[in-house]
Structures are given as C-alpha cells and as structure tokens.
Amino acid sequence: MLGGAVGLAVVNSVWLNYVRSHLASVLSGAELALLLKDISTISRYPIAMQSVIRSVCGDGYNLQMRAALGFTAAQFLIVLALWRKQPLRLGIDGTLVSD
C-alpha cells in the first residue's frame, strides 16, 4: 500500500511539473494555478489556446504513464526476486514455519 501511494505521488508530480513548465510561457501564474485547480476552466480560453493546453496536458499524461509503467516493471521484478517455491508462514506462536 505504501509503495503504491508513493508511486502515485511521484507520477502525479511528474504530470504537474511537466504541465507547469510547458505552460508557464503561455499562461500567467494565476491562470495556470486556476487551470491546475479546475481543468474545466479551459473553456475560458480561445480555441487555439485550448488546443495548446490540451496538447501539453496530453503529453504530460503520456509521460506520467511511462513513469507508472516504470514503477510497475520495478514492482514486478521485486516480486520475482521475493518469490519462493516453499512460502514461509507464521506459526501460532509467531515463529516462521516452512513447509
């Protein structure tokens, strides 16, 4: 659970940083903050600007998914490294028992 929460925080941060850095030259700080708070405010901008914003958000989403794929691959490798034919169990007294 903790690993998933950390992974989610990292991929969300990847998207936010990408969008902020790529839209900083197009939108003012206040406009960008409002857009990140509520993406539905995109309708306030002209069609050409909406297209730019959508493109940047889409590219950021693609980057976010690549980062999530990296976390998934790492978790898969960790599970393979921990795999055992004879799993360990806890006995009634709390000691490790192998079959």
Predicted confidence (pLDDT) at residue 94 exceeds the cutoff of 90: no
Q: What is the pLDDT of residue 99?
A: 62
Q: Where are the domains of the chain?
A: 2-98
The letter for the amino acid at 76 is F
Contacts of 57 (CB under 8 A, 6+ apart): 19, 39
pTM of structure: 0.72
Can you give the C-alpha Rg of the chain in angstroms? 22
Q: How far apart are CA 28 and CA 84, in angstroms?
A: 55
Any bridge partners for residue 96, and if so which? Answer: 90
The tens digit of pLDDT for each residue in 17-28 reads 999 999 999 989
